[in-house]
Amino acid sequence: MAEITASLVKELRERTGAGMMECKKALTENAGDIQAAADWLRKTGLAKADKKASRVAAEGRIAMAQDAGKAVLVEINSETDFVAKDANFLAFTEAVARIALGAADIDALKAAKLPSGESVEEARSALIAKVGENVQVRRMARIDSADTIGAYVHGGRIGVLVEVKGGNAELARGLAMHIAAMNPPYISPAHVPADFVAREKEIALAQVKDSGKPAEILEKMISGKIAKTLNEISLTGQPYVLDTNQTVEAALKAAGGAQVVAFARLAVGEGIEKQADDFASEVMKQAGLA
């Protein structure tokens, strides 16, 4: 059996990212064989990762990568904002985003190989062992196009891709920033579903039907209300965040009649039901008082 020296423990720790005591135990269990110890730690880490898989991961980061004619966003979640800022977590998200440029969907991404030779899923499990939290590669959005693609990530929390026909890279990035800030559900009023428009008309009619005004005036009032609502929820109808004196539609016209073809917006934790921690109850439970 090889001697378990401090330098051997240090080497294993640097290689695996595991804690000092775990590394010492791994070397002891494997007769000082550093490769066997690294494998043992990985197996142990994977077991720990499985136990953490049911915990809610609603924090994290949106990572972005862009290459000629391609751009991708990936949402990778952690349990806490603290881990979302960890160097290991950040390195993982950047590596996954670069690989995502060649992945068709989230399942293909999880199976894709990183430069280290590990699959994304294998690296995710190893990361869980390092950071001690559940980590999930949740979803991705991509745009492949010969048109101009704007990409923007705000604080690692919100990411946007937008495809623009005409215009230039500066306009596309500005539109991506606008979408990040305003979160419009639709590109233009023409893209709003017909059933939504019909429902809004019904509501507007109920609001003005007892006003005593002539039918033609009521029609104009209803049309005005509908137009206002559709502009508020449409990208092109909103005041442009980079120049609120004009709408996005006006900015597109000023750029030679550019058109927004598509966009995608991801926000960290969107749609995940977060757990409300009751720390007082948890302490009482652990103390046997509840």
Specify the pLDDT at position 10: 82
Which among 105, 123, 104 has a CA at the least distance from the CA of 113?
Answer: 123
Specify the pLDDT at position 17: 67
Specify the pLDDT at position 273: 66
Residue-wise pLDDT tens digits, 120-135: 999 999 999 888 888 9
Tell me the torsion sign for CA atoms 3, 48, 278, 272: positive
Tell me the residue type at 141: A
DSSP per-residue string spanning 166-209: SS-HHHHHHHHHHHHHH--SBSSGGGS-HHHHHHHHHHHHHHHT
Distances (CA, A) of 233 to 9, 179, 226: 58, 11, 11
pLDDT 10s digit of each residue in the chain, 290 long?
668 888 888 887 777 767 677 888 888 988 888 888 877 776 666 445 555 555 666 799 999 999 989 999 999 999 999 999 999 999 999 999 999 999 999 999 999 999 999 999 999 999 998 888 889 999 999 999 999 999 999 999 999 999 999 989 999 999 999 999 999 999 999 999 999 899 888 888 877 777 777 878 888 888 888 999 999 999 999 999 999 999 999 999 999 999 999 999 999 988 876 654 444 555 445 455 54
Specify the pLDDT at position 137: 95
CB 12 within 8 A of CB 37: yes
CB 153 within 8 A of CB 64: yes
Q: Which residues pair with 139 in a beta bridge?
A: 75
Q: What is the CATH number of domain 59-144?
A: 3.30.479.20
279 Cβ neighbours under 8 A, 6+ residues apart: none
Distances (CA, A) of 162 to 97, 155, 167, 196, 246: 17, 18, 12, 24, 20
Distances (CA, A) of 28 to 33, 40, 43, 60, 98: 9, 11, 16, 36, 38
Tell me the residue type at 40: W
Specify the pLDDT at position 46: 42
Specify the pLDDT at position 54: 56
Specify the pLDDT at position 283: 47
CA-to-CA distance for 147 and 102, rounded, in angstroms?
19
CA-to-CA distance for 233 and 288, rounded, in angstroms?
52
167 Cβ neighbours under 8 A, 6+ residues apart: 148, 252, 255, 256, 258
Which among 21, 59, 53, 16 has a CA at the least distance from the CA of 35?
Answer: 16
Specify the pLDDT at position 52: 59
DSSP per-residue string spanning 119-180: BHHHHHHHHHHHHSS--EEEEEEEEE-SSEEEEEEETTTEEEEEEEESS-HHHHHHHHHHHH
CA-to-CA distance for 237 and 240, rounded, in angstroms?
9
Listed by start position, the domains of the chain span 6-52, 59-144, 189-260
% of the chain surpassing 70 pLDDT: 87
Specify the pLDDT at position 11: 82
CA-to-CA distance for 57 and 49, rounded, in angstroms?
13
Q: What is the CATH number of domain 6-52?
A: 1.10.8.10
